[in-house]
Amino acid sequence: MNTLMNPWSLLDDLFDNRAFHKIRARAAGRFPPVNVYLDDGAVIVDLELPGKTAKDVDLTLEPQAAIISAKPAEGEAPAWSRRIELPFRVDTAKANAKFTDGILRVELPKSEEAGVRKIAIA
């Protein structure tokens, strides 16, 4: 069948294109969906990790980034790692994470240095 008449063939061609690498990777389960929320005092990161447990996931915090990675279970896509850059420095000592019903929630409070501060002008 002519590829112009076969939409599935066109989709195959699109997904073989490097421009769609991220879409293919997510479809293959390599990168889980993530939501990042910002409020006055913290950044909250939620990752959907169905079928995983807290032991399957590694979390590393840097002053201005969170790195979340997981090893695959048998039959899953390859291991993945996700680095989330943050718009301000966080207090890594006060950060916490919990895993509930397949969702990892990481709360990253702003560092005292990152807070808004009014100063006198000399």
pLDDT above 70: residue 7: no
Write out the E strands in 23-75: 34-38, 42-48, 57-62, 65-70
pLDDT reading at 25 higher than 90 = no
- pLDDT, residue 47, reads 92
The distance of Cα 48 from the centroid of its chain, to the nearest Å, equals 9
Query: Is the pTM of the predicted complex or chain greater than 0.85?
Result: no
65-109 pLDDT, tens per residue? 999 998 777 766 678 888 999 888 899 899 999 999 889 999 999
Structure tokens belonging to residue 67: 């790195």
* Domains delineated in the chain: 1-30 (no CATH), 32-112 (2.60.40.790)
Mean pLDDT of all residues belonging to the chain: 78
Nearest CA-CA partner of 70 in 88, 59, 57: 57
- How many whole angstroms separate alpha carbon 57 and alpha carbon 60? 10
Q: How far is CA 58 from CA 25, 52, 55, 61, in A?
A: 20, 11, 8, 10
- Asked if the model's pLDDT at residue 3 lies above 50, the reply is no
Q: How many residues would you count in the chain?
A: 122
Highest mean pLDDT among 9-18, 23-32, 50-59: 50-59
Q: Is the pLDDT of residue 116 over 80?
A: no
Q: Roughly how many angstroms between the first and final C-alpha of the chain, as a whole number?
A: 78
